[in-house]
Amino acid sequence: MRKNIFLFAILTLLALLVPGKVGASDYYKLENVKRVDQDLYRAGDLYVQTQYCYHYTYGEDAVLKWGGKYGDNKIIWADDSTCAVKDIFKK
């Protein structure tokens, strides 16, 4: 019985310390994505900063997989190629 209470207390503490969903990612449709600069893309008022992405686009739709600032983030292009995403922001 004591083991169960101790385990429950540890799990509760960990749940409080880890923000958001653990291991979960959300998917967002990006329309009319344009390359602004090296490793920088724009979809409307949203900017996507990538890492070592050499995909050239002038108005392509894509899907953004976002798992938080330090998650497994990537942009998935129409031809199924992907690029790692470092950050997203609005201007």
The residue among 85, 74, 77, 73 whose CA lies nearest residue 59 is 77
Token pair in block for residue 11? 């799990």
Q: Where are the domains of the chain?
A: 26-90
- Measured CA to CA, the distance from residue 1 to residue 80 in angstroms comes to 51
In one-letter notation, the amino acid at residue 16 is L
pLDDT tens, position by position, 23-49: 578 999 999 999 999 999 999 999 999
Report pTM: 0.72
> Which amino acid, residue 13?
L
- Tens of pLDDT, residue by residue over 45-75, are 999 999 999 999 999 999 999 998 888 999 9
